[in-house]
Every structure is written in structure tokens, then in C-alpha cells.
Amino acid sequence: MPNFTKRHIVELLKETNPENIAELYRQADRVRQEQVGPTVHLRGLIEFSSFCRKDCLYCGLRRSNGRLQRYRMSLEEIFAAAENARLLGFKTVVLQSGEDSHYSLDDFCSLVARIKKELRVAVTLCIGERTREEYARLKEAGADRYLIRFETSDPDLFARMKPDSTYENRFRCLQDLRELGYQVGSGNLVGLPGQSLESLADDILKFRELELDMVGLGPFICNPDTPLYGFANSTLDMVLRMTALTRIVTENAHIPATTATGTLDETGRQQALSCGANVIMPNLTPPEYRKLYQLYPDKICLNEDPGQCKTCVTGMIAGLGRTVALDRGDSLRI
């Protein structure tokens, strides 16, 4: 495991020599090739509800955003979207939403169990902070993986950005999920107002310490309907450096080239795949709801349907000389 110190990571985040940056990307690409191979895993993302009880400062779904038209898919609609994912050849579905208390735990567990039984795909949940008991029930129902970014390892910044969460509870969630046997994904937001390079380096060291199975790095994209209106977006350069360093430090974690990275720059996802990333999560949310899941403005794929996104990413992967993985893409740590 490469022994990068915090100082070394900060220096690379500050590096200005283009040749040294290019070498960092080449090194990350080599580690990706050695550790996870040439294939790219696809995960079908279903954004099933835009209701949220929380008020994170950066997010368009925050409960105080009165400008957002909210939607919530029925359990039947969510199942149909997962079935469509299966028909399109996806081996993983990711069910993501705001923290929406509308669905009862029993109903949601039944949905997970039905998807597992009838569709035989891996199920990843990304539905926020829950109790250990709720995570346990969802695991028993068949959920395989869980994504919950800690967003920032800086406790003060965390407290400012997530006023109704606590740092301790976010990490408690990660610990519970690990103990319950989930494959665990976390990650951060890159470029939050007030975030230092030192804290970004700490984020990377945290990814390693937590022995994550998946790490998602999201560039912060400013949403004008939030209190962070007027702050600058993350730069693509910083997300790519974070991707490369995360690959080198975590070695075999699954790292997605995120939709937000593709929103910052139309070749952003290709560039991320070339410096460490090995996963893409195409949007499989039904077209009528896509525009309403507005975490940030100008999100890509709003006018496409699931089949078009599948074709698009398959072409993107082929264009890089890589292929779509045929297996489920489980954790490489187990």
C-alpha cells in the first residue's frame, strides 16, 4: 500500500508543473490497470424520490428549497425501473433518494427482496442516515451495498454544511454498515466553500483508513437555490487530482466517474476513467422525473432515456479502448 503522507498529498494537490500532473495521472492509470483491470462496471442509478427531511447547504433537494417541484416514485414504479435496468443488461441497481420518511421500512424491505428475487441484480442503497436496526433489516431483505459519503473529514466544515446531521452519526452509519456485512461506499464533495487542501488530503487518508469498497468523489456544483448561491464550482482539475490520488492510495476501491464530473465538463467522465476511475453510474431514472432531481443545475442526461444513456456510456468506454465488465463488480476487498 503506497505510503503517501498528508504532506505528500497536499503537495500533489498544489502541484503546478503540467508534466508532474500528467505523471500523477499516468501512475493512477497504471494502478487502476494492475488492481482492478481494464473493464468498467456499470451501475444503473434510479433516483426515486426528491423529498428530503434534511437541509444540507449545498443540495437542491434540501427541505428549505421551496422552488423544487418534488416527486416520489411508487414502489411499483421503482420496481419497473429496476426491471428495465435488468433488461438493459445492468447487474447492479442503485436506489437513491433524499431522506424521505414516506416509505415504511416494511414496504421498502419488501421492494428490495422482490428486486433480489425476481431480477437477481446487486442492490445498492443510497438513502442517507438510518438507524442500525433499519440498516440490519434492509440487509436481511437482500441489500448488498450502501453508499453514504461523509462529504468532508473536517468536522467544522461538516457542521456548517450539514446543520441537521452530526459528524459522529455519519461515521457511526459507516461503521454499522461495515459491521452488518454491506459492501460500503463513501466519498466526499470536492471544492466546498471553505474547504482546505489539507482537509482534502485528510479525506483521502480517511478513505484508506475506512477500507472502503467504493469511493465517490463529487465536484461541488453551486446550486443557486441554496444558501451557497454565488460560490464557485469545483474545478475539473481538482476532481481529477483527487481521483488519481484516491486510486493510488486506496488501490483497489471501485471509483466512479461521477455524473457531476460529466456536468462540469463534457469529457469529464472520460478523463476521470483515464486517471483512476473504473465505474460509471448511468441515470436510469424514468425521463419524466429526471429534471426534478435537481441537486445542482445543468445536470447531464435530462433529455435522454435509460437506453440512450446505456448506449452513450458503452460508446464512451469503447472510445477509451476499454470494455464493459460482465460480472457484478463486487468489492475487490473480499
Per CB under 6 A, residues contacting ligand SF4 are: 52, 54, 56, 59, 61-62, 98-99, 128
246 binding ligand SAM? (CB under 6 A):
no
Mark the segment that binds ligand FES (CB under 6 A) among 74-82, 164-172, 241-249, 304-312: 304-312
CB of 115 to ligand SAM, least distance (A): 18
Spatial separation of the C-alpha atoms in residues 199 and 271, rounded to whole Å: 24
Q: Which does 308 bind (CB under 5 to 8 A by kind): ligand SAM, ligand FES, ligand SF4, none?
A: ligand FES
Q: Parallel, antiparallel, or unpaired for β 323-324 and 39-42?
A: parallel
Which one, 25 or 48, has the nearer CB to ligand SF4? 48
Task: Round to whole Å and give the CA distance between 190 and 185.
Answer: 16
6: how many CB neighbours lie within 10 A of its CB? Answer: 13
**Binds 301, which of ligand SF4, ligand FES, ligand SAM, none (CB < 5 to 8 A, cut-off by type)?**
ligand FES
Strands (E), the chain: 39-42, 44-49, 92-97, 122-126, 145-147, 183-190, 214-219, 279-280, 323-324
Q: What angle do CA 54, 63, 301 make, to 5 degrees?
A: 95
Cβ proximity to ligand SAM: between 35 and 233 the closer is 233
| Paired residues of 92 in beta bridges | 122
Cα torsion 298, 300, 303, 306: sign: negative
Is the Cβ–Cβ distance between 268 and 257 less than 8 Å?
yes
Question: Which of 93, 148, 257, 309 is in the footprint of ligand SAM by CB under 6 A?
Answer: 148
Binding residues for ligand SAM, total number by CB under 6 A? 19
Pick one of 27, 233, 235, 308: the residue that binds ligand FES (CB under 6 A).
Answer: 308
Q: Which does 62 bind (CB under 5 to 8 A by kind): ligand SAM, ligand SF4, ligand FES, none?
A: ligand SF4
> In this structure, are residues 128 and 61 in contact, taking their beta carbons and an 8 Å threshold?
no
Stretch that binds ligand SAM, among 108-116, 132-140, 219-227, 306-314 (CB under 6 A): 219-227
What's the Cα-to-Cα distance from 55 to each of 41, 66, 165, 273, rounded to whole Å?
A: 32, 12, 9, 32
Residue 28 DSSP label: H
Beta-bridge partner residues of 186: 215
- Using the contact rule CB under 6 A, the part of the chain among 36-44, 151-159, 236-244, 309-317 near ligand FES is 309-317
Binder of residue 11, out of ligand SF4, ligand FES, ligand SAM, none (CB less than 5 to 8 A by kind) = none
Asked if 306 is part of the footprint of ligand FES (rule: CB under 6 A), the reply reads no
Q: Which is nearer to ligand SF4, 54 or 72 (CB)?
A: 54
Binding site residues, ligand SAM, CB under 6 A: 58-59, 61, 96, 98-99, 126, 128, 148-149, 151, 189, 218, 220-221, 223, 260, 295-296
